[in-house]
Every structure is written in C-alpha cells, then in structure tokens.
Amino acid sequence: MKRVALVLLLLLALALPAAAQLPPNPAVVDPALFEEIGTYGGELVLGLSAAPRSFNFYGVIDNNAYTVLYNILDPLVAENPATGELIPALAERWEVDETGTQVTFYLRDVLWSDGTPFTADDVVFTMVHVVMNPNAEGNSVDRFTLGGQPVLWEKVDDRTVKAILPSPYGAFTRVLSHALMVPKHKLEPYIAALNRGVEPGTINQAWTTDTPVEDIVGTGPFVLSEYIVDQKITLKRNPYSWRVDPEGNQLPYVDRLVYLIVQDPEVMLAQFRAGEIHRITITGQNYPALKREELAGANYRVLTGSPVSPTPSPPHLSFNWDVDDAEKREIFRNDKFRQAMEYTIDRHRIIEDVYNTLAIIPGVPVLPANKAFYNPEIEKIMRPYDLDKAKELLEELGIVDRDGDGIRELPSGRPFELTLTTAVNVQAHNDIAVILKNEWDQLGIPTHLQLISSALVGERRSAGEFEVMIEAFGNQPDPQLRKAIWQPGRALYYWHRSTMDENQQPVLENMVDWERRVFDLFELGEVEMDVAQRKAYYDEWQEIYADKVPVIFIAKGMELAAVSNAVGNVFIQENGQIIGTNYTAFIKQ
C-alpha cells in the first residue's frame, strides 16, 4: 500500500507543472472551451504585428501591448470566451444592494506571480490611482464616471471591496471586465497622489519595455520571461495560476507562450506555412489558397467562424448632416433619402465579391451572435437591394432626371453628384466604394471616389469635411460600451456633429425627435439594473436605427483563422464560433 501511495504521489507530481501552487478555491474553466483535456509541455508560438510600446496596460494605447498583457493581468469580472456571459475572475462573487448603487466584491484568495498576496488594497489602488488616473494615457475615467461623479472604491477587509456608484449603472460589471488589476506593491512609487515630488504623468513611465521582466507581475496564466527587442516576447507559465480544467488540472498547459514580432503579414503567413507560427488570423483574400492546401494535406486546418468579436469592424455608409451645401444638407437629413440609398446596397453581392462569401449581413449595429442584446426584429425592417424602390423614393423627394441626360437633378435644378470618401489602405472599403459608385452612376447620381489614407479619413471624419463616407467602428457585447459612437451628441457621432457643442456636450435642441429618443434610451440603459428592461431599451434603439438609418450597415466579415494540427483545443463550436484560448491550448505530443 505504501508503494502504491508513493507511485500515486509521483504521478501527481509529474502531472502538475513544476513549482505549481493552486489557490484554495481555483476557478474551473467552462468545459465548452475544451475538445479534450490537454497535456503539459511545449511552447505555443503566435505572431505579433509590431513590438509593444510598453508593458504598462494603462500607460499606453497600443493593441500589441494589450495582446500580450491580457495573458498576464486579470480583471475582477471576466467574459466567458465561449458565451460572452459575465463570470467571476479575481472576484469570486459579487452582490448588488437594493438601491443598485453599491456593489460588494468578494475576492479570490490568489497570489501575484511573485508570490505576494492579491488583496483589496490592490483593487482600490488599481481603480482609484490607475484606471481613473486622468494622467494615465490608457485610463478609463469616462467608463467609471456617471453624471460627472466618479465611482468610489472602499476596502472592507483584505478579501472584500465595495464600489459605490453615483447612480445605478446597468453596464457596470461589463465595463469592469475591461479593467485589469495591477499590483500596488510594484506600481505605487509611480503615483503622484501617493508620493511627494512625483510628477502627475509618471505612471506612464512604469513597466516600459526595458523594465526587468521579473518586475512585471500579474495574476494571469502567464508571466513575462524574456523580451528581445523587435524580435520576440516569451512568456512562461505563472506557477500561481488560479484556473483549472474540468478535471482540476492547473492551467495553462504549455510551458511557454511565444510572440514572434513580424510586421509584414506576408512574412507572417510564410512563417505559419513553415510551421514556425502555430496560429494566425487570415483574410478572405488568402483563405482560398490556405483551404486548398489544407485539403491537399497541409499540416494545418483553416477555421471559418461566426462573427462575434468587435473586430474586424463592420463597414457602414454615412451622409454628412452638417455638410456645407445647404441643399444637400437638407437632403441628407431626410429619412426617406437615406432609406432610398439603403435600397441601392446589394449586400449579397458585396458579401460574394468583396468578402469571397466570408461575411454576413450585420446587425444595426449589434451583431446577430450577441444573444444578450441582438434584436431580430430589425431583420424585418432593413431594406433589401431594390433599385425600383430607390428610384421611387428619390422621385418623391424631387431628385429626378428633368432633362433626359441620365443625371438626376436636385429640386433646385442642380445636378445631384456625390463624393464618396474612404480609406485607400482598407481593401474591403475600396471594393465596396467601387460597387456603390457603379450602382449610383447607373441610378443617375454621378459619384466621385475620394480614396485617402485611413489617418486622413479619421481627420476628415472628425472635422466633418466629407459628403458621404464608408467607415467602420467596432461593436461590444454591451451597447453601453459604444455609447460614444451611437448616442447622438457624442464624440464619434460624426455624421451629425452639430448635436455636440465645442465642449463635447450634447445639444438636445439640435437633435431630431428620434435622435432625442435614442439619446434617452442610452441614458435609461446606462442606469437600469434589470437585465430584461435594459434589453428592451436597446431593442428599441436598434429598431429606430434600422428604420431611420442614420448610418447604413453593410456587412460583417467572418472570423477566419488557421491553426497548426499540432495545437489542441482550437476548434469551432456548435454555434459557429471559433474557440481557442492561450491558457486552454496545448501542444500535442
């Protein structure tokens, strides 16, 4: 019996990563993220399009840095990668009081990767001095400020912290899922409010890319191990990781997570084909060749997933309600005109020709895959391609060809011409622009394409210097996270900029009736705590957008990936979504 016990202990020791230490109550990861229980060992190699500017999540605005840091840092509340539902993370559970203004979080008993306990002090420090630090380049002050008042944070005890809200905030836990906790014992010296003589912006100087990797600690599944400038970032398993698979095995499975910095997408694709990179995101353009290679026996598989993530953003068409030309301004503000122009968009052709069939008709703008907020009623409202309907509505508006020259005139008698602006370096937008130009030319509306850099598109969009534009903004699981785009009077509601004053405050009197209703719906949805009622508010918003088409949503590209056959637990689940996290992936032996 003693020998049997010793053998079992030895097997258990071999099964667990070296020096691993699980917390008292680890989190069991959703079985939906697994095709099979993985095995330990090896390294997972991914590509990164550019070197991160910093390893400070709040000291920089940089997607490459975020890609790396989401492996190292954790939020209090997380989104389930398989369902999008909110789940416990560093907060094991939470309670909302009857007023909806006090949320108490009970923290998981975990350690930072250097062995220091994670406590309520870290949470208060992160939220008060980092997340809501206006001098931090990547702060989230706006998401945690309601009616000009900040969310307050109080330590109850080492394992309990309380958030005090100025008013009920229905999206509070959702926005909290984007606030990653950082260690007070490492970053406190960089905070001006806590250190005499420290400059306000010093927080941005923490955790730069030349910081010793052992000083960058987190609670995530991985921790930094090595950084070779502009070449490679290596992460290793965090021995104090608090996630386990359905059989209780500590995650992650792989010993190392490696990011190769490859700026040229063609070079990255070549490295994937050569087996030097295990998984990449692909485009509709290189999908056919990769799929043919897979079917011919290549050592990788190509995955076509349902669109569920904010990127790639679905392109939309907008008309400038504040354009200098007074007659066009009146036309663009007319609901019937925008409805007529929706009839000119052949979405099915665009999906076929531009996206190589690898796209869907989008929501407005909530994605159909977002079961929490998508309103299927909009499918009955959106207008299909129908040039006869478009002509009928245009003629009702007095936009007709009066002299038989094939060009429609405005009611004043002037030829009706349009200038369509989009980014020359976004191929899908270029291709869509060409299709729309051809449709509108045939309809008797001469269209001039203005293809410029995406940076210049952004400048002209913000300055209101355009007539018609193809642009793209991302979605989020909760509409409140995109309030700055879709609510009138906000910074990115660029097609009707006069709903906002020079101080970026809403001007209610400049909104038409339905815009004012949309404004109110977002205000109501922000403070509503009842899930069903919040959905009802956002359902109404989607129906208004589908009917009034302030912008016209065109298509949403599928999520495309290619992954080596050596990697396990990257697959497509029943709903068509690509599943595969770095902490559940494993290298097959």
Strands 359-360 and 315-319: unpaired
pLDDT digits (tens, 9 = 90+) for 146-183: 888 999 999 999 999 999 999 999 889 988 999 999 99
Three-state secondary structure call for residue 44: strand
Whole-angstrom distance, CA of residue 61 vs CA of residue 474: 16
DSSP 243-271: EE-TTS-BS--SSEEEEEE---HHHHHHH
Cα dist from 543 to 181, 302, 364, whole Å: 37, 36, 8
Give dist(CA 29, CA 214) in Å, integer: 27
CA atoms within 13 A on the CB side of 419: 11
Q: Which CATH number fits domain 315-557: 3.30.460.80, 3.40.50.2000, 3.50.50.60, 3.10.105.10?
A: 3.10.105.10
**Are 73-204 and 315-557 the same fold in CATH?**
no
What is the Cα–Cα distance from 571 to 567, expressed in whole angstroms?
10
- Rounded Cα distance, 287 and 274, in Å: 17
* pLDDT tens across the length of the chain (589 residues): 445 444 433 344 444 565 578 998 999 999 999 999 999 999 999 999 889 999 999 998 888 899 999 999 999 999 999 888 899 999 999 999 999 999 999 999 999 999 999 999 999 999 999 999 999 998 888 889 888 899 999 999 999 999 999 999 988 998 899 999 999 999 999 999 999 999 999 999 999 999 999 999 999 999 999 999 999 999 999 999 999 999 999 999 999 999 999 988 899 999 999 999 999 998 877 899 999 999 999 999 999 987 877 666 789 999 999 999 999 999 999 999 999 999 999 999 999 999 888 899 988 989 888 888 999 999 999 999 999 999 999 999 999 999 999 999 999 999 999 999 999 878 889 999 999 999 999 999 999 999 998 879 988 998 999 999 999 987 778 898 888 899 999 888 999 999 999 887 899 999 999 999 999 999 999 888 888 999 999 999 999 999 999 999 999 988 899 999 999 999 998 878 899 999 999 999 8
Q: Whole-angstrom Cα distance, residue 334 to residue 306?
A: 35
What does the block give as tokens for 26? 């680890």
Label the pairing between strands 447-452 and 359-360. Answer: unpaired
* Pairwise CA distance, residues 25 & 30, whole Å: 15
The pLDDT score that the predictor gives to residue 19 is 57
Q: Which residues pair with 92 in a beta bridge?
A: none
Q: Is 456 helix (H, G, I), strand (E, B) or coil?
A: helix
Pairing of strands 578-579, 571-572: antiparallel
Helix axes 387-396, 335-342, angle to 10 degrees: 160
Three-state secondary structure call for residue 513: helix
CATH match of 23-51+229-306+558-589 with 3.30.420.590: no
Domain 73-204, what fold?
A: Dipeptide-binding Protein; domain 1 (3.90.76)
Rounded Cα–Cα distance for residues 27 and 46 (Å): 26
Round to whole Å and give the CA distance between 47 and 562: 12
Q: By C-alpha distance, which of 104, 143, 244, 63 is closest to 480?
A: 143
DSSP string, 527-585: H---HHHHHHHHHHHHHHHHHH-SEEE--EEPEEEEEETTEES-EE-TTS-EE--TTT-
Backbone torsions φ then ψ of 146, nearest 5 degrees: -125, 125
> What is this structure's pTM?
0.77
Domain positions in the chain are 23-51+229-306+558-589, 73-204, 315-557
